[in-house]
Amino acid sequence: MFDIKPVSDVIGAEVSGADLAEVDDAAFDEIQLAWMEHCVLLFRDQKIDAGELVAFSKRFGELDIAPPNENGEGGFGGFSEVLVLSNVKENGKAIGALGNAEAQWHTDMNYLDKPPTGSVLLSVEVPDKGGDTGFSNMYRALEDLPSSIRQRVEGLKIKHDSSTNSGGYLREGAEPVTDVTTCPGAIHPIIRTHPETGRKALYLGRRRSAYIMGMSLEGSELLLDELWAHASQPKYAWHHQWRIGDVVIWDNRCSMHRRDSFDDSKRRIMHRTQIMGDRPF
Ligand code: OGA
Ligand code: MN
Q: What are the DSSP calls for 191-256, one per residue?
A: EEE-TTT--EEE----STT-EETTS-HHHHHHHHHHHHHHHT-GGGEEEEPP-TT-EEEEETTTEE
Q: What pLDDT score was predicted for residue 49?
A: 97
Nearest residue CA, atom 9 of ligand 1?
Answer: 259
| Whether residue 43 has pLDDT greater than 80 | yes
Shared domain check, 161 and 268:
no
| Whether residue 192 has pLDDT greater than 90 | yes
Residue 136: enclosing H or E segment and its boundaries? strand 133-137
Query: What is the arithmetic mean of pLDDT over 41-69?
Result: 96
User: Is 23 in contact with 247 (CB distance < 8 Å)?
Assistant: no
Shared domain check, 224 and 268:
no
Q: What pLDDT score was predicted for residue 167?
A: 65
Shared domain check, 69 and 197:
no
Tell me, yes or no, whether 108 lies in a domain.
yes
Give me ligand 1 centre to Cα 169, in Å. Answer: 14
Tell me, yes or no, whether 281 lies in a domain.
no
**Which CATH number fits the domain that encloses residue 62?**
3.60.130.10
Q: What pLDDT score was predicted for residue 166?
A: 64
pTM of the model: 0.95
pLDDT band for 74, please (50, 70, 90 cuts). confident
Considering only CA atoms, give the Rg of the chain.
Answer: 18
Q: Rounded CA gap, 265 and 119, in Å?
A: 27
Q: What pLDDT score was predicted for residue 87?
A: 97
Shared domain check, 257 and 120:
yes
Q: Angle CA(90)–CA(261)–CA(115) in degrees, nearest 5?
A: 85
Query: What is the arithmetic mean of pLDDT over 181-194?
Result: 94
Does 152 sit in the ligand 1 pocket, CB within 6 Å? no
Tell me, yes or no, whether 130 lies in a domain.
yes
Tell me, yes or no, whether 263 lies in a domain.
yes
Q: What pLDDT score was predicted for residue 81?
A: 97
Query: Which of 40, 104, 257 gets mutated to test ligand 1 (max ligand atoms within 8 A of its CB)?
Result: 257
| Whether residue 128 has pLDDT greater than 90 | yes
Q: What pLDDT score was predicted for residue 176?
A: 84
Tell me, yes or no, whether 44 lies in a domain.
yes
pLDDT band for 67, please (50, 70, 90 cuts). confident
Shared domain check, 113 and 17:
yes
Determine phi and psi for 11, rounding to 5 degrees.
-160, 145
Q: Which of 226, 50, 233, 52 is nearest to 136 (CA)?
A: 233
Domain containing 111 equals 3-137+238-275
Does 240 sit in the ligand 1 pocket, CB within 6 Å? no
Tell me, yes or no, whether 55 lies in a domain.
yes
Tell me, yes or no, whether 215 lies in a domain.
yes
Tell me, yes or no, whether 280 lies in a domain.
no
Does 83 sit in the ligand 1 pocket, CB within 6 Å? no
Shared domain check, 77 and 51:
yes
Q: How many domains are there within the chain?
A: 2
- Looking at all shown ligands, the one closest to residue 106's CA atom is 2
Long-range contacts, 151-155 (Cβ 8 Å, 24+): 152/223, 153/190, 153/191, 153/223, 153/227, 154/191, 155/189
Shared domain check, 167 and 81:
no
Measured from the CA of 131, which atom of ligand 1 is nearest?
Answer: 8
Shared domain check, 132 and 7:
yes
Share of the chain above pLDDT 70, in %: 99
Shared domain check, 148 and 66:
no
Shared domain check, 101 and 175:
no
Shared domain check, 182 and 159:
yes
Q: What pLDDT score was predicted for residue 165?
A: 67
Shared domain check, 120 and 14:
yes
Q: Rounded CA gap, 205 and 160, in Å?
A: 7
Q: What pLDDT score was predicted for residue 170?
A: 79
Does 138 sit in the ligand 1 pocket, CB within 6 Å? no
pLDDT tens column, 81-103: 999 999 999 999 999 999 999 99
pLDDT band for 168, please (50, 70, 90 cuts). low
User: Is 276 in contact with 62 (CB distance < 8 Å)?
Assistant: yes
